[in-house]
Amino acid sequence: MPARVYQPSGKSEPGAIPSLVVVCAVVGAVAGVVEALIAHYVISLFLIFPLVLGAVVGGFAAKRIAKGKIRAPMAAALAGLVGGFVGQLSVHAVEYYEFRSTVSSKIAGIAAKSGQSPDQIIDAVLVHETGHAGLRGYLALQAKQGISIKDEGESDDKGIKFTGVGAYLLWIVEFLLVMGVAALMAANRARKPFCESCKRWYDQNVPVVSGSGDKKDWSVVVQNLERGDFAAAVAARGQVSPKTASTIVLERCSQCDSHDPLLDLKVTKALNTKKPQTSTVYRTLLHPDDARALLAAVEATRAKAAS
Ligand SMILES: [Zn+2]
């Protein structure tokens, strides 16, 4: 019996996925504006901001996924991509808006004398400098001048500058970071185990039995679990030591016993220190009958120990 992997059903509550896309796009837009304002008035943190923006979109997406019972990781990832894209786009949109309004107020006097509107002058300068007006011209101008990843307060010769193709690559990397973080967080949330008969996420983590954290011991437990011999698996668990332990944990639905619980064999090391480290060394879905057999085997050894 090889380990069985939990497969999300791809289902969700009616309308939950369209609403997730909307949530991601709106959160992305709002968070993007906030990020651009912080970057403009307070501080700009190179590559940290895209990660934070992605995490904000991903965090809101995860909440909506939990609420909408979305078990469709691909759809969740796509919604995260959309939200991340909108978010980073709104960062650029706010920068562009700030650029136009700042320059407009500075050249208002000149514009009044020349008989042209500030907007006309800005676009004329952009065309003269880059060959393009509007947002495209603004981005080309930024790329031409170079994007410094240091604060504006520092002198220009300090820090790294991205010019030309480098500037465009930097923007692409920022987009990929925001979109990637948001999509990963959303997909991971949608991949969590779900009870299809009760229509709820698994809500219980039950430590079933603990034993030795030495590999030579827990690998025998794994062999017996794979063989479906739960009594032998429980018997082979060995003793918890002051330093290490292994624990069989069942992640399951608290409302029924007709679902397939997720069995994790976790090994914790450095128990005697302030930073114990736990890792999952084996994971499989169990059939309901197998879960019952496992719990009965644990019960039997407890009863034997008590008598
Ligand atoms: Zn259930």
Residue 284 and residue 229 in contact, taking contact as beta carbons nearer than 8 Å: no
Which amino acid is it at 121?
A: I
Q: Could you tell me if 209 and 170 lie in one domain?
A: no
**Residue 235 C-alpha to ligand 1 middle, in angstroms?**
29
Residue 133 and residue 125 in contact, taking contact as beta carbons nearer than 8 Å: no
Task: Count H helices and E strands in the chain, helices first.
Answer: 10, 8
**Residue 288 C-alpha to ligand 1 middle, in angstroms?**
11
Residue 220 and residue 157 in contact, taking contact as beta carbons nearer than 8 Å: no
**Residue 200 C-alpha to ligand 1 middle, in angstroms?**
7
Q: Could you tell me if 213 and 182 lie in one domain?
A: no
Residue 153 has pLDDT above 60, yes or no: no
**Residue 261 C-alpha to ligand 1 middle, in angstroms?**
10
Q: Give 98's pLDDT tier (boundaries 50, 70, 90).
A: very high
**Residue 22 C-alpha to ligand 1 middle, in angstroms?**
30
User: Whose CA is closest to 147, among 104, 97, 138, 125?
Assistant: 138
Number of independent structural domains in the chain: 2
Output DSSP code: residue 44.
Answer: -
pLDDT at residue number 124: 92
Q: Are strands 200-201 and 204-211 parallel, antiparallel or unpaired?
A: unpaired
Question: Final residue of a domain: which of 175, 192, 209?
Answer: 192
- The rounded distance, in Å, linking the Cα atoms of 97 and 104 is 10
**Residue 28 C-alpha to ligand 1 middle, in angstroms?**
34
**Residue 257 C-alpha to ligand 1 middle, in angstroms?**
6
Three-state SS at 149: coil
pLDDT at residue number 2: 77
**Residue 196 C-alpha to ligand 1 middle, in angstroms?**
7
Q: Could you tell me if 183 and 219 lie in one domain?
A: no
High-pLDDT (> 90) share of the chain, %: 78
Which residues touch 215 (CB under 8 Å, ≥6 apart)?
Answer: none
Give the pLDDT confidence of 204-242 residue by residue, as tens digits: 999 999 999 999 999 999 999 999 999 999 999 999 999
Residue 202 token pair: 């698994």
Distance set, CA 223 to CA 236, 282, 283, 297 (Å): 10, 10, 12, 16
User: Whose CA is closest to 286, among 219, 226, 215?
Assistant: 226
DSSP per position, 106-145 = HTHHHHHHHTS-HHHHHHHHHHHHHS--HHHHHHHHHHHH
Which amino acid is it at 233?
A: A
Which pairs from 135-138 meet CB under 8 Å and 24+ separation? 135/92, 135/93, 135/96, 138/96, 138/99, 138/100
pLDDT at residue number 67: 97
Q: Would residue 153 count as lying in a domain?
A: yes
**Residue 159 C-alpha to ligand 1 middle, in angstroms?**
56
Torsion angles phi and psi, residue 233, rounded to 5: -60, -45
pLDDT at residue number 264: 96
Q: Would residue 222 count as lying in a domain?
A: yes
**Residue 256 C-alpha to ligand 1 middle, in angstroms?**
4
**Residue 295 C-alpha to ligand 1 middle, in angstroms?**
17
Domain with 106 in it: 16-192
**Residue 8 C-alpha to ligand 1 middle, in angstroms?**
15
Q: Could you tell me if 177 and 239 lie in one domain?
A: no
Which amino acid is it at 77?
A: A
**Residue 199 C-alpha to ligand 1 middle, in angstroms?**
7
What is the pTM (predicted TM-score) of this model? 0.85
Question: Final residue of a domain: which of 192, 214, 233?
Answer: 192
**Residue 19 C-alpha to ligand 1 middle, in angstroms?**
26
**Residue 193 C-alpha to ligand 1 middle, in angstroms?**
11
Residues, the chain: 307
Number of other CB atoms surrounding residue 145 within 10 Å? 12
pLDDT (mean) for 73-99: 96
Q: Would residue 249 count as lying in a domain?
A: yes
Question: Final residue of a domain: which of 176, 192, 208?
Answer: 192
Q: Could you tell me if 166 and 104 lie in one domain?
A: yes
Residue 154 has pLDDT above 60, yes or no: no
User: Whose CA is closest to 206, among 254, 239, 241, 242?
Assistant: 254
pLDDT at residue number 131: 94
